Amino acid sequence: MNAPTDQDLVRRSIMGDGRAFASIVERHTRLVYAAVRSVTGDNNEIDDIVQEVFIRIYRNLGSFGGRSALSTWIYSVARNHAINAVSRARPETVPMESAAPLESALPGPDAELERREALAALERILGGLEGRYREVVELRYLAERRYDEIAELLGVPMGTVKTLLHRARLKMRALLPEDDECGVRDDERRQAL
């Protein structure tokens, strides 16, 4: 059976179908994380902000007219919400409503600590990127979007995406620590070589 389209899921969500909205969330989780991270960087409130984004999306599904792709609309909502969250948090540290715990993402304290450390290490590399550079990198690596999809989300030509990504890689390469502990995609690099 074919997977339901985004439009189907939106229509069913508006009718109160919780399972349809859960599917929308599952499909777009990484996109929303990418949008939020490109504004806030990695921080402790990111899970909360992402959940707030999806709550906002649910409450405004009726205003999604289908003129653009659902992912484009969600990306725009997510970025705007993240910008507001950052500006809200700056004058004083007002705690937001607590995020619901993400049980399957937290297998245990040790694993969570390891995850936080890995993210902090990546943030040392990504933190040097600003604006569009960071957006493109988050969309490419976290949301795992193709060049043409990134171009559509950002409203720029595909050549611009390639240029931004190339420059971002050069900037990040300069910040990369010398030690190499990660074994992921080793085989791919060997193939490239």
Partner 1 sequence: MRDDRRCERYEELLPDLLDGILPEDHAAEVRGHVERCDACRRSLEALGRLERELCRLPSLTPDGAAVAAAVTGRLGLERRSRAASLVHSLPLERLALPLGIAAIVLSTFRYFGGMAERLTAALTSCLSGLAGAFEELAATSPSAVDSSALYLSSALILIGCAALSLTALRIVRR
**Closest approach of Cβ 22 to partner 1, in Å?**
4
* CB neighbourhood size of 118 (10 A): 12
Q: Which of 99, 154, 156, 158 binds partner 1 (CB under 8 A)?
A: 99
**Closest approach of Cβ 3 to partner 1, in Å?**
14
Q: Does 165 bind partner 1 (CB under 8 A)?
A: yes
Q: Does 182 bind partner 1 (CB under 8 A)?
A: yes
* CB neighbourhood size of 75 (10 A): 25
Name residues whose C-beta falls within 8 Å of residue 143's C-beta, 6 or more positions apart in sequence.
30, 31, 33, 34
The tally of CA atoms less than 13 A away on the side-chain side of residue 95 is: 4
User: At 75, phi and psi to the nearest 5?
Assistant: -60, -40
Q: Which of 1, 3, 26, 65 binds partner 1 (CB under 8 A)?
A: 26
Q: Does 135 bind partner 1 (CB under 8 A)?
A: no
Q: Does 70 bind partner 1 (CB under 8 A)?
A: no
Q: Does 54 bind partner 1 (CB under 8 A)?
A: yes
